[in-house]
Chain A
Amino acid sequence: MTETINMLSIRHIVKQYAQHRALDDVSIEISQGSIFGLLGPNGAGKTSLIRIINQITAPDKGEIILKGEKLGPSHISKIGYLPEERGLYKKMEIGEQMLYLAQLKGLSRADAATRIKYWFQKMEIESWWKKKVEDLSKGMQQKIQFIATVVHEPELIILDEPFTGFDPVNADLIRDEILELNRKGATIIFSTHRMETVEELCDSIALIHKSHKILDGKVDAIRNSYRNNTYEIEYLGEKCGFDDSAPFVTTNETATNEGYMITLKLTEGKSANEVLSYLVPKVRVNMLREVIPTMHEIFIEKVSQIS
């Protein structure tokens, strides 16, 4: 564990519903300024954990420390939360609604108005102020809700599946806003199923499955630790057979435009160099690279191991 104070320390959290234990001794550290991915299949306990961080529910055991302080009502204004199930008051004017939500987070009415106007200008939606939510498209409503999540400049932003419901253009727009907020110092927690998002954006992750944390750490470190001596090699020319003296086992072979692509696994104690010295006399090697498992593969592997 690092010496610096983490943004969020989740320590030995247990949450018990009547017959169902939603979280069982879950501990996670989230460092300040990071983008953290909270992963897990449906029903793993992610939402329960997020609700505890948001103080919507309280844990049965364990504690949450936010910047060195035990989580309490004073931290509400420091957290911004975008729930997976989006929703706004349908019949309320958007401007009024944003003011209301921002004030609930502790902003004064004047402050809230200034910041909302800033965001409306930035998103080029100033003309929506007097509109009602029910008159907007789903994507537009999502934008509004995103602004409502970050308008009070929270230090910790929790986004539950933030990109669902956005078209690619707006998804990029929102992603850029998230990254900018992160550059300005906000810590971001993503709860998501989309592993591309995780690989692209997240520094660290925790994987929750069946109420337990089964994996956590930096994304790069995790991926590296799941390396299993698998390489991809492309060679040009005729198809070539490999005899028993080869320092690897071929697991996959496909034809490419000019030659063949093989996936291979090193045999015990052999190295990539030995593969090359075995192959070079036989074929013209075009490319060799190590295959590092994607988060998607790791996710599936870990989850299927346990179930």
Chain B
Amino acid sequence: MNKILLIIRREYMTRVKKKSFIVMTFLVPFLFMAMYAVIFYVILNKEEFAEVEKIAVIDDSGSFRSLKSSTSIQYNYPAGTVEEARAHFKKSDNNYLLIIPSDKRNILLLSQKKPGISTVASIERQLSRINRTEKLLAAGIDTAIVNSKSNDLSITARQLTEEGEKDAGAWVAFGVAMLFSIMIYMSLLIYGVQVMRGVIEEKTNRIIEVVISSVKPFQLMLGKIIGVGMVGLTQFLLWIALSAISVTAAGLILLKDTDVSKIKTEQIKNTAGVQAAPAAGSTVGTDFLESLNTIPWTYTISVFIFYFLFGFLLYSSIFAAVGSAVDSETDTQQFMLPIIMPLIFTSIISINVVISNPGSPLAFWLSIIPFTSPIAMMVRIPFDVPAWQLALSMSLMIGGFLVITWIAARIYRVGILMYGKKATYKELVKWFFYKE
């Protein structure tokens, strides 16, 4: 036991002290933050980034004299006939030429270069709206009523639970599910491969013989897996902590001048019982925060840690067995595919199918089978999984881990001493049946 601790300590310390670990740990959260900041900035200021499209309009119908220019689209109405405008278009600084015949059919948009989809869509929308309003007016209907904002309806998704109704927060749950399953998927691959590299390193360095004259191969394998797993866990915890810190910091800086006061005044209004239409901007933020609060974090994170640990233990023991069977990393390819396939398969299915229908039979089976359950179950967790399914999945996960580790260890103990032998699947089966 003491020796396993020594091995865990070495595996952990040598990795944590590496420059690449420190750089990754501190850089990744800030890269994410920076990425979000850029995305946020672009979304908020998207007009500034868009090129202004100049559109010359020749309107023979006379209905579209009042097209509204925006920051990205500017309309102008040159005088003259269609032919003149066409002839002049090439030389003008207009990007588009919109030709509307008097019967409003066969409206033509000429462009200098390939037309942008959003530009075309935007013009189409405006034309259609004006057209519709015109027809409604012609039919004697008050367009003020038709266009009133109060016509728009929205759905509030509320889930009926034991404690009463609560906000279903489907979109936030969706995001959390994605995030956690992607984290599991990435970590299984990244840290699993680290275990494999460690095994190959010991084998090619030939230090393996010195080490296993002191400890049992199984102790070494387990120590390595646990040590690398703890490195992964450390990295996650640091990432979560650093992200939390930077989000809070960013929030404080962004909210300082504007939103805080808005939210406060709103709260005061609400407590005073005044029914005021909330300002559009701040509701998005508070809705999001409220939805975040509806997610049972302790439960979700505990399940995440469970599936991370056991998924990692299961996959990395396979990775360890693969590492023991080869002499260099280039030889691993034939064994890698069958390991990675279920991971890729599950994550694609999870993101496309399971997440949109978390109660389906496919989602159920994927979240029960040990090889796929770490990813599939994490997708389902925010959408309330029945307790018995979670219990079944977890028991199978533990059972699967024990069986797979046992098989992997039997291959590992033989493989690490086989130098210069190209292992085949047949060979691995033979190794499995070797006596101690």
Contacts and interface: CB of A to CB of B under 8 A. Distances in A.
A92 B210 CA distance: 15
Interface in B184-222: 201-202, 205-215
B210 A76 contact: no
A135 to B, nearest CB: 15
Contact of A101 (B202, B208, B210, B434): B210
Contacts of B435: 58, 60
Given A56-B417, A104-B3, A87 B10 contact: no
Contacts of A58: 435-436
Q: Which of B202, B214, B215 has the most CB of A within 10 A?
A: B214
A145 B206 CA distance: 12
Contacts, number: 62
Contact of A56 (B7, B207, B212, B430): B212
Contact of B207 (A18, A51, A60, A88): A88
Interface in A90-109: 90-92, 100-101, 103-105
B63 interface: no
A88 B202 CA distance: 8
Contacts of A51: 209, 417
A101 B214 contact: yes
A83 interface: yes
B241 interface: no
Nearest to A79: B213
A100 B212 contact: no
A83 B10 contact: no
B244 interface: no
B83 to A, nearest CB: 77
Nearest to A80: B213
B6 A100 contact: yes
B40 interface: no
Contacts of A76: 213-214
Interface string A130-147: 000000000000000100
B32 interface: no
B419 interface: yes
A190 interface: no
Contacts of A83: 206, 209-210
11 contacts: A18-B434, A56-B213, A57-B436, A58-B435, A83-B206, A83-B210, A103-B6, A104-B214, A105-B214, A145-B210, A148-B210
Given A60-B435, A83-B210, 20 more contacts: A17-B434, A18-B434, A55-B213, A57-B436, A76-B213, A81-B210, A87-B208, A87-B210, A88-B207, A89-B202, A89-B205, A92-B10, A92-B14, A100-B6, A100-B10, A101-B214, A104-B6, A104-B211, A105-B214, A145-B210
